[in-house]
Structure 1
Amino acid sequence: MESFKHIGVIGRIGSVKVVETLRRLKSYLVANDYQVILEADTASMLPGHGLQVASKKLIGEICDLAIVVGGDGSLLGAARDLSKSSIPILGVNRGRLGFLTDISPDDLEERLSRVLEGEYVEEKRFLLDAHVKRNGEPMGYGTALNDIVLHPGRSTRMIGFDLYIEGQFVYSQRSDGLIVSTPTGSTAYALSAGGPIMHPRLDAIVLVPMFPHTLSSRPIVVDGGSEIKLVIDEANENWPQVSCDGQQELACAPGDSISIAKKPFRLNLIHPSDHNFYATCREKLGWASTIAAS
């Protein structure tokens, strides 16, 4: 297993609980002779820290490991910024569900020490790129670890669009939009819209319609290497939007096209060695944890 010496720390802004955990994390790492580099915004929450400060990009270049303290949203943001580097990312949960940030603050030092000693499992998660074009000209670009979503924005009207997969026409649809999700995102927004749960190791993409104007429209699972294209109907009266992980918005107009494909770089996500995807689903989604007696 890889040895970690230079550790970048990224925290969610505006949370007292995150600050408390950051202080504990800093104290533990410094006491154990790790070289700690704080992300610039994170450093502002720890006045008098006395540590090196760097941008997320620089952390990806000079660190052996990045630790993200926050919720899954914090890790999603860090993943997009660090995906071009091969740096592993470890999440400490200070959010709600914590599908990605799976170290609990309650036993932070104990769990972290095991990971830093090499007791961890590693996963490669792929991301998606979205390119918006108007009359063939690029208008916007975004990246997502969870999902790319075409939606009406502030309007309550349905969107008309055409779907193409690998250049082949699939259907024309009127709905509240479409969720294009990775396996990582299959337990997030896509799940709430009726999509399937996909194991993180699958090389697949799921397309989940949002309140389609037909009963026969169902989620479609396609190969992870597929190129997906959405063409917004020119007859639309509203200007829809494309959302990347719910954190980055791209404005669209009637007639625009959105091309979605796998990003060439993968996120290197690590977990404690006892990590179990199905156990996480049981805990976070409220699945039954015992087998009823027959």
Structure 2
Amino acid sequence: MDQFKNIGLVGRLNSSSVVVSLKLIIPFLQERGLNVIVDRAIGELVSEYGLQESALRLMGESCDMVIVVGGDGTLLGAARELAPYKVPVLGVNRGNLGFLTDITPDQVCEKITEVLEGRYTIENRFLIDAFVRRKGLPVGEGSALNEVILHPGKTARLIRFDLYIEGEYVYNQRSDGLIVATPTGSTAYSLSGGGPIMHPRLDAIVLVPMFPHTLSSRPIVVDGNVELKIVVDERNETFPNVSCDGQTNIVCAPGDVITIRKKPQKLRLIHPLSYNFYETCRSKLGWGAKLGE
């Protein structure tokens, strides 16, 4: 328990179930003599405990572990802020699927106890950075744990763009866009678009065309260390968008260049020893169990 003295708490807003879990976790940690620091965004929800509040980014500097209570979206937002600080993150699921927040509410005290006692594993999950430049000048940038998506925005029109991998020309495509996903994101939007499921330990990126205007366009899996470049065709009449984890949005223009590459810092994701990726796929995606189960 000595390695986790300062515990950060992050929760999804506008969720009564999240508040219930927070009010279970806080006294549980305090009874063990641990210092609990709560994300400023949810401070009012648990104000009766008189906890120290902090901006999420600063938690990375002051906390030994951060517990995220909510869905995968909540953890995605926390991951982008906390990854540069290498602070380990533990997810408690109060959302829907819960691929990243794998502790269930009924097991929260049991599993946190296991972690505090050193019975856990840590997975390093890489993120990707996206940079948009217009005539050589920066327009915007963002990071993603799941995926970076080029999409039409509010208009339902095809986008024309060129794709380069490590400076080598791949193709010119007309489609609704392109999903660039990490292994973590391979079970998210990429999966809905027909992409493959990748084990989280793979060092790879998958590129999934969105409704391409040709039957020969298929997902491509590439090395995780490549640099991708997407050039928005000058002939486009619309202004496509670049979205990072569905939470950061950059509006592009015809001729813009989008560069995507692996982020230097990784998210340190804590799992209880009982965590099993394939069991998670079975339960979340409805895969068949063994006969007789």
TM-score tier by shorter-chain length is over 0.9
1:148 aligns with 2:148: yes
Equivalences for 1:242-253 in 2 at 5 Å? 242-253=242-253
1:133 aligns with 2:133: yes
Contact 1:3 1:117 in 2 (8 A): no
Identity among equivalent pairs (%): 60
Equivalences for 1:121-270 in 2 at 5 Å? 121-270=121-270
Equivalences for 1:36-185 in 2 at 5 Å? 36-185=36-185
Q: What do the CA deviations read for 1:72-126 (whole angstroms, capped 9, x no partner)?
A: 0000000000111010000000000000000111121111111111111110000
Contact 1:190 1:208 in 2 (8 A): yes
Q: How many residues align?
A: 293
**Structure 1 runs of 4+ with >6 Å offset:** none
For residues 172 and 139 of structure 2, the distance between their equivalents in structure 1, rounded to whole angstroms, comes to: 23
RMSD between superposed Cα atoms in Å: 1.2
Q: Which piece of structure 1 moves more, 41-50 or 5-14?
A: 41-50
For residues 154 and 85 of structure 2, the distance between their equivalents in structure 1, rounded to whole angstroms, comes to: 36
Q: What do the CA deviations read for 1:152-195 (whole angstroms, capped 9, x no partner)?
A: 00000000000000000000000000000000000000000000
Q: Which amino acid aligns with 1:16?
A: S
For residues 224 and 291 of structure 1, the distance between their equivalents in structure 2, rounded to whole angstroms, comes to: 37
With normalisation by structure 1, the TM-score equals: 0.98
Any unmatched runs of 5+ in structure 1? none
For residues 47 and 28 of structure 2, the distance between their equivalents in structure 1, rounded to whole angstroms, comes to: 17
For residues 122 and 195 of structure 1, the distance between their equivalents in structure 2, rounded to whole angstroms, comes to: 26
For residues 86 and 291 of structure 1, the distance between their equivalents in structure 2, rounded to whole angstroms, comes to: 42
For residues 127 and 80 of structure 1, the distance between their equivalents in structure 2, rounded to whole angstroms, comes to: 8
Deviation of 1:66 after TM superposition, in Å, equals: 0.2
Deviation of 1:2 after TM superposition, in Å, equals: 7.7
For residues 107 and 239 of structure 1, the distance between their equivalents in structure 2, rounded to whole angstroms, comes to: 47
Contact 1:207 1:220 in 2 (8 A): yes
Deviation of 1:48 after TM superposition, in Å, equals: 2.1
Deviation of 1:226 after TM superposition, in Å, equals: 0.4
Deviation of 1:27 after TM superposition, in Å, equals: 1.2
Any unmatched runs of 5+ in structure 2? none
For residues 95 and 197 of structure 2, the distance between their equivalents in structure 1, rounded to whole angstroms, comes to: 21
Deviation of 1:134 after TM superposition, in Å, equals: 0.3
Q: What do the CA deviations read for 1:174-232 (whole angstroms, capped 9, x no partner)?
A: 00000000000000000000000000000000000000000000000000000000000
Secondary structure of the structure 1 residue equivalent to 2:84: coil
Match of 1:282 in 2: 282
Match of 1:272 in 2: 272
For residues 191 and 107 of structure 1, the distance between their equivalents in structure 2, rounded to whole angstroms, comes to: 28
For residues 137 and 47 of structure 1, the distance between their equivalents in structure 2, rounded to whole angstroms, comes to: 45
Deviation of 1:31 after TM superposition, in Å, equals: 1.1
With normalisation by structure 2, the TM-score equals: 0.98
